[in-house]
Amino acid sequence: MSKIAIIVASEKMDKLFPAVTLATTATISGWNAEMFFTFWGLLALKKGYQPSGVTLDYKAYEGKLNEAIASGSIPDWKTVLEQGLATGRIKIYACSTSLGMFNLKQEDLESFVDSIAGAATFLSKAKGSDVSLFIS
């Protein structure tokens, strides 16, 4: 079975959307997906998290994106992720080092987080992937 490994290092909408869309599309297509949320990407796993906007590169489009989400033209990033999670083929890992950096604990994270892992553990899981992406 094919597998995609995605490292998510940003909590901004313009980074979260591609990461969860690719993972979800892969799982709907029968692949497995491994997602590692590290550095600021880890913030997206906090309970109740809402993205704080987009990166400066896409600031001009932030209003259009927010409008599309608010109108229901596109689902928000967590809805897309939930579709992938429903397949049972996405695994979500929270970076242990980043947890310490932000003084967070596992109970501060969303229930869909499968486990806390260090970089070495994630790399061992991602090693045999057909596609590997770093989204920051």
Domains in the chain (CATH in brackets) are 3-135 (3.40.1260.10)
Under the banding of pLDDT at 50, 70 and 90, the label for residue 102 is very high
For residue 65, is pLDDT > 90?
A: no
3-state secondary structure the chain: CCEEEEEECCCCHHHHHHHHHHHHHHHHCCCEEEEEECHHHHHHHECCCCCCCCCHHHHHHHHHHHHHHHHCCCCCHHHHHHHHHCCCCEEEEEEHHHHHHCCCCHHHECCCCCEEECHHHHHHHHCCCCEEEEEC
pLDDT (tens digit per residue) in 45-64: 999 998 878 888 888 988 88
Q: 77-99 pLDDT, tens per residue?
A: 999 999 999 999 999 999 999 99
pTM of the model: 0.94
Residue 17 has pLDDT above 80, yes or no: yes
